[in-house]
Structure 1
Amino acid sequence: MLLTYSILAESVKIRLHQKKISLLDYDESLEFIGEGRSAYVFRIRSTNKAIKVFFPDHVDIAREEAEIYEMLRGISYYPTLYESGRNYLVIDYIEGLTLFECLVQGIPITSDNIKEIDQALLLAKQKGLNPSDIHLRNIFITSEKEIKVIDVARFRQTKKCRQWNDLKSAFYRVYLKRFFPKKIPVSILNFIAALYKRKLIPM
């Protein structure tokens, strides 16, 4: 029997204790694929869909992100939203690698990829959104070499976000240089990200 999305979301047992999140259990028809700052993400087995279940202290983000995905509906650079509930979203499962994973594995990122990401963000702006919090882990290059952007919950914030412009600047100024290594260890990438957050990298 195929379970409903709401029942699948309810099967995800999350413990919040002293601001620490733990994943306790989930239905066997779910395959755990990742953890973000506000949710766990699972692939629904035997489908091309993923379910994102938000932490108890972040359930308000579910509605916000669902509304933004609705605004982006029909734009191929973003996953399709199939259903949303109080604490979950069901969207396309994306087969591919994030830009972060491309850097770790040494898979080249091209100027065409960057131009496509620019186009994806431009189309969001044309919907009245303000694409924000764009980073290496929420941009995918799919197995068909297409660009997909996920985690759009902050696309309605009003303050200006420079993250994508700074990433793009680093791509053209540093990454494309012939001497620059195209394969970078996770520890180095995380260290660079920490320096960037502390505004210790001149851009």
Structure 2
Amino acid sequence: MNIDTIEDLIGKVKIAPHPDNQSVIIHSIPDDFTLIGIGTDAVVVQHESQPTRVFKVYTENRIYKIENEYKVYQRLQPSPFFAQAFFRGDDYLCLSYEQGPTLYECLERGIIIPKQIVLEVEQARHYARTQGLNPRDIHLKNVLLQNGHAKVIDVSEYLMPGDDLRWSHLVQGYELFYDLIKGRKIPSWMMEWVKKAYYHQLDENFSVLEFVKRMQQMITFK
């Protein structure tokens, strides 16, 4: 199927932003597409005629992000740590299809996350900085475990200033806490509960060690 036909189908993807900055609200997606992922700005879909590619389709109020994200991908290529961007449309990006569970899904399924993955994400962040970028917004749903290696997805904030510390806090949590849950299946409701508690307590005095201790006490109590 040619790209013009696929673009017509992309135009029929109807999504809307969530008022609480949660995953987008999906109204309709043509049956020709398989839904691959959902984020706060976009959905990722795949057409059967393009098995090695996906289309990241943005909500109307986030279309302005496309150009910057495309520029980031261009600056990152080639790299084994990031997806590849082939081209952009008015409301979408065409990206390489990257297989593998996210780290979030690994925790859900009890799939072991080896230390090597953490080290490779650090390498990916270092590489991004050498390209004049600011790697941020890296979290459990933005890293894939792909054939034993890390693949970082969603680079939409790499031109923004500041360090949101999300990955740094995850690394500290991994080192402090992961051995206690390694190989166990963690229900999504528990991860969402911890995430909400994290955002509620996050301030300039935030301590990962103290947060982990509080979570251990509360989870044990529950």
Q: TM-score, normalization: structure 2?
A: 0.82
Cα contact 2:142–2:152 (8 A) shared by 1: yes
How far apart in 2 are the matches of 1:79 and 1:8?
23
- For the pair 1:168 / 2:142, whether they are aligned, the reply is no
What's 2:13 paired with?
A: 12
Cα contact 2:102–2:144 (8 A) shared by 1: yes
Alignment RMSD (CA, Å) = 2.3
Report which stretch shifted further, 86-95 or 24-33. Answer: 24-33
Distance apart, 1:180 and its partner CA: 6.0
How far apart in 1 are the matches of 2:3 and 2:17?
26
Q: TM-score, normalization: structure 1?
A: 0.89
What's 2:68 paired with?
A: 64
Amino acid at match of 1:141: L
Q: Percent identity?
A: 28
Equivalent residue in structure 1 for 2:187, among 178, 185, 201: 185
Secondary structure of 1:165 counterpart: helix
- For the pair 1:98 / 2:102, whether they are aligned, the reply is yes
Distance apart, 1:15 and its partner CA: 5.4
- For the pair 1:25 / 2:33, whether they are aligned, the reply is no
Distance 1:37 1:2, change over 3 A: same
Distance apart, 1:33 and its partner CA: 2.0
Equivalent residue in structure 1 for 2:132, among 118, 128, 136: 128
Distance apart, 1:113 and its partner CA: 1.1
Secondary structure of 2:69 counterpart: helix
Cα contact 2:143–2:151 (8 A) shared by 1: yes
Structure with a larger share of its residues in strand: 1
**Gapped regions of structure 2 (runs ≥ 5):** 209-222
Distance apart, 1:36 and its partner CA: 0.7
Give the aligned length: 201
After TM superposition, the structure 1 = structure 2 runs for residues 42-121 of structure 1, keeping only pairs within 5 Å, are 42-46=45-49, 47-121=51-125
Structure with a larger share of its residues in helix: 2
What's 1:202 paired with?
A: 207
